[in-house]
């Protein structure tokens, strides 16, 4: 969004230092003009959007910059503009991982605070999140630090534009898993990113609730929709948010039922079982 030029420059420098073949870069200005981003030994293309179209739609613009569904490249990295790749071997290990497993569709990086080295629990995309140093197969991924095989986009489509913010990664992950792809969390692939709270976004509580309903309506078999949303309603109440936050959450929850959620493609029951075997049945 154009408000972190120094951090973006540092990120691009870290990408330029990656081992192996040069990494092509697209930077999308989401409703913001972009500064000069010339970096030695790095090809940077820029796209400036007239308005902020949200995280998933902005990322979809970046995908299409590499041809329909990103077809001009094999793998796309998505990196938050205030992140940093501390290890020059990150991109090469991504290439090796995808080369070794033809059904690996998505890799989720470990996000660590640059000062403390701590990985927040919410940045470990599984229920058993106590040990962020343990790599594993997972059922979702982190939007600001990941790598996706472009064949996934070509088969199941891109991120859901209308979500704007929150749960767009899980929507794509469920569609990818339903199509037979796998998702790995790799603790050895690190993006340094300042520790933050997701509620720093003014729209957080409304978007989280609305998109949770959309996620269920779009992707789950009908019997699981009330179970999934009922569990999340109970969890939200158990966390005892503030009154304004709870009001925004219920407003978003109602909006999710009233408004169109996009195309409905319920996952197969064998995908439900696969998610369950991976430790996260699609009701939690």
Last residue of some domain: 139, 166, 196? Answer: 196
- 280 domain-assigned: no
Kindly state whether residues 242 and 179 are assigned to the same domain.
no
Query: Considering Cα of 134, then 139, then 140, then 141, what sign does the dihedral take?
Result: positive
Kindly state whether residues 87 and 183 are assigned to the same domain.
yes
Characterize the bridge pairing of strands 182-192 and 104-112.
Answer: parallel
Q: How far apart are the first and last CA of the chain?
A: 32
Last residue of some domain: 176, 196, 216? Answer: 196
Kindly state whether residues 72 and 209 are assigned to the same domain.
no
Residue numbers of the domain that contains 113: 5-196
Kindly state whether residues 185 and 224 are assigned to the same domain.
no
Kindly state whether residues 38 and 117 are assigned to the same domain.
yes
pTM above 0.85, yes or no: yes
pLDDT in tens, 5-15: 999 999 999 99
pLDDT in tens, 188-243: 999 999 987 765 556 899 999 999 999 999 999 999 999 999 999 999 999 999 99
Given a cut of 80, whether residue 85 has pLDDT beyond it is: yes
CATH number at residue 76: 3.90.550.10
Cβ–Cβ under 8 Å, residues 74 and 44:
no
Kindly state whether residues 58 and 125 are assigned to the same domain.
yes
Query: What's the CA gap between 174 and 172, in Å, rounded?
Result: 6
DSSP helix/strand/coil, 39: strand
Characterize the bridge pairing of strands 136-137 and 182-192.
Answer: antiparallel
| Count: domains in the chain | 2
């Amino acid at each position: 969004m154009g408000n972190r030029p120094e951090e973006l420059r540092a990120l691009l420098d870290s990408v330029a230092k990656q081992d192996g073949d040069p990494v092509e870069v697209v930077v999308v200005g989401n409703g913001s003009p972009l500064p000069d981003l010339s970096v030695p030994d790095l090809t940077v293309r820029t796209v400036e959007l007239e308005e902020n179209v949200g995280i998933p739609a902005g990322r979809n613009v970046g995908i299409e910059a590499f041809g329909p569904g990103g077809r001009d490249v094999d793998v796309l990295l998505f990196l938050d503009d205030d992140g940093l790749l501390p290890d020059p071997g990150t991109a090469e290990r991504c290439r090796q991982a995808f080369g070794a497993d033809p059904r690996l569709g998505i890799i989720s990086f470990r996000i660590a605070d640059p000062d403390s080295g701590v990985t927040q629990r919410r940045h470990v995309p599984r229920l058993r999140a106590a040990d962020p140093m343990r790599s594993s197969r997972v059922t979702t991924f982190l939007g600001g630090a990941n790598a996706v095989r472009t064949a996934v986009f070509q088969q199941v489509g891109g991120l859901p534009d209308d979500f704007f913010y929150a749960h767009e990664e899980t929507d794509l992950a469920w569609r990818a898993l339903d199509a037979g792809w796998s998702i790995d969390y790799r603790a050895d692939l690190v993006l340094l990113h300042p520790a933050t709270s997701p509620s720093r976004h003014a729209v957080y509580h409304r978007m989280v609730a609305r998109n949770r309903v959309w996620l269920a309506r779009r992707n789950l078999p009908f019997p699981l929709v009330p179970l999934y949303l009922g569990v999340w309603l109970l969890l939200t109440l158990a966390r005892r948010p503030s009154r304004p936050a709870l009001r925004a959450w219920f407003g978003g929850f109602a909006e999710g039922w009233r408004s169109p959620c996009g195309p409905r493609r319920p996952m197969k029951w064998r995908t439900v079982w696969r998610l369950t075997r991976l430790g996260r049945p699609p009701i939690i």
